[in-house]
């Protein structure tokens, strides 16, 4: 049997793999704490559940327009117009089956085989595979920093990059580009004319003051070149409902809409009504409660990690991940480290190799205080024992 080159060269998702391994050990009775999860450990807000029930009772269970119900597209256009000081209309907004699907659709519109795409490093696991699926070529910043810079964009464009994916707050590091960095990146985008997919899925989990620095705030005139990706998964604990949003210029959206029409049709009708409830502000209490919990846990995990010798990390300013580097004079294989930490140390984490960095591990603090405290204890004793050397 002959399988297509792009499809058969795809790699699986390491985050899902390590999450599943920790879960199956736990299910088999092993004493495992898993800090692998990329999702809130809270229930979906009541307003979303109620709206979904109402949609079912009212028979809103058939196909919807493929780009999403008009009310939701309108609500998305309005909300993110307010966030970014723009005047987006329905034609600028499209609903898909999760932000991952939104990114895949939007990439498919702009990446032709052989096109180079600049990805940040560390990158979210799916970006390189999504680019590969389309026959594109991922390239990475020349500088070695943990956050992409304007010069990285200029150099990549000079090397032929047609576009880039930007992700701040970043999964896996939780780091955020500062206002000045974002201004410089926006200037580089304007100078080079590249397209940008700004993956803003963690925009509401920013622990600094005000809104997270954004390319469109730095230069609102870039709106036709910049597609925004966001959704309800992380902000409202709705990962399983599979609703994501793309906001971009009408042509980009129209073509992505055709791709969606010929692949998945519409996102789940019931989930769209649930999403409409939260986007229109009916779950603000729960949102703020979850935000405050993550912020507090961020401080807790950082305070505890500070006491662990053999680690270096930068305090995350967003999302729910911390990304320490293992300090050792020997080169370590991070996948082996994480397997050993799981099997011998009873702690599930994700190896940095999945995000483009050897020597780092990602810990999710979407977990209880007790689990966080016990996890850091286990990591400390594992490092002390030196089992991984």
Q: Exposure of 87 by Cβ count < 10 A (0-12 exposed, 13-18 middle, 19+ buried)?
A: exposed
Minimum CB distance to ligand PLP smaller for 155 or for 298? 298
Q: Kindly state the smallest distance separating residue 73's Cβ from ligand PLP, in Å.
A: 17
The tokens for 210 are: 């005000």
171 binds ligand PLP (CB under 6 A): yes
User: What CA–CA distance (Å, rounded) separates 103 from 59?
Assistant: 30
User: What CA–CA distance (Å, rounded) separates 385 from 344?
Assistant: 11
Sheet of 350-351, strand order: 321-322, 361-364, 350-351
Question: Taking CB positions, which residue lies at the least distance from ligand PLP?
Answer: 98
Number of residues that bind ligand PLP (CB under 6 A): 13
Minimum CB distance to ligand PLP smaller for 13 or for 328? 13
Report the b/e string of 159-188 with b at 16+ CB within 10 A: eebbbbbbbbbbbbbbbbbeeebbbbbbbb
Positions in 84-113 near ligand PLP (CB under 6 A):
98-100
Minimum CB distance to ligand PLP smaller for 345 or for 348? 348
Q: Kindly state the smallest distance separating residue 36's Cβ from ligand PLP, in Å.
A: 12
231 binds ligand PLP (CB under 6 A): yes
Q: Kindly state the smallest distance separating residue 70's Cβ from ligand PLP, in Å.
A: 21
User: What CA–CA distance (Å, rounded) separates 163 from 376?
Assistant: 39
205 binds ligand PLP (CB under 6 A): no
Q: Which string of x and - marks every residue 4-43 that binds ligand PLP (by CB under 6 A)?
A: ----------------------------------x-----
User: Is-contact 196 189, C-beta < 8 A?
Assistant: yes
201 binds ligand PLP (CB under 6 A): yes
Interaction site with ligand PLP (CB under 6 A)? 38, 98-100, 124, 167, 171, 199, 201, 231, 233, 239, 244
């Amino acid at each position: 049997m002959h399988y297509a080159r792009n499809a058969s060269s795809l790699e699986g998702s390491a985050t899902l793999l390590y999450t599943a391994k920790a879960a199956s050990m736990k299910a088999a009775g092993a004493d495992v704490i898993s800090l692998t999860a990329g999702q809130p450990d809270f229930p979906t807000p009541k307003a979303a559940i109620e709206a979904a029930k109402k949609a079912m009772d009212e028979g809103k269970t058939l196909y919807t327009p493929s780009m999403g119900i008009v009310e939701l597209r309108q609500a998305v256009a309005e909300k993110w117009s307010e966030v970014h000081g723009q005047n987006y209309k329905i034609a600028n907004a499209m609903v898909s089956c999760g932000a991952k699907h939104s990114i895949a659709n939007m990439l498919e519109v702009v990446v032709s085989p052989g096109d180079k795409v600049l990805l940040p490093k560390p990158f979210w696991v799916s970006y390189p595979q999504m680019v590969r699926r389309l026959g594109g070529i991922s390239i990475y910043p020349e500088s070695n920093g943990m956050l992409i810079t304007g010069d990285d964009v200029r150099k990549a464009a000079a090397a032929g990059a047609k576009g880039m994916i930007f992700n701040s707050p970043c999964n896996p590091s939780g780091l955020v580009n500062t206002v000045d960095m974002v201004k410089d990146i926006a200037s580089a985008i304007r100078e080079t004319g590249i397209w940008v997919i700004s993956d803003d899925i963690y925009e509401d989990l920013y622990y600094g003051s005000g809104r997270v620095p954004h390319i469109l705030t730095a230069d609102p005139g870039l709106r036709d070149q910049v597609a925004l990706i966001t959704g309800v998964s992380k902000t409202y604990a709705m990962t399983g409902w599979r609703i994501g949003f793309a906001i971009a210029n009408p042509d980009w959206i129209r073509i992505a809409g055709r791709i969606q029409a010929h692949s998945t049709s519409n996102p789940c009708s019931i989930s769209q009504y649930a999403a409409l409830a939260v986007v229109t502000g009916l779950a603000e209490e729960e949102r703020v409660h979850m935000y405050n919990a993550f912020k507090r846990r961020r401080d807790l995990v950082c305070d505890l990690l500070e006491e662990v010798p053999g680690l270096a990390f930068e305090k995350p300013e967003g999302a729910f991940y911390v990304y320490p580097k293992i300090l050792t004079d020997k080169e370590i294989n991070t996948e082996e480290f994480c397997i050993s930490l799981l099997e011998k140390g009873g702690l599930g984490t994700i190896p940095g190799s999945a995000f483009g960095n050897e020597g780092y591990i990602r810990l999710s603090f979407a977990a209880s205080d007790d689990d966080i405290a016990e996890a850091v204890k286990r990591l400390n004793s594992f490092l002390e024992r030196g089992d991984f050397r």
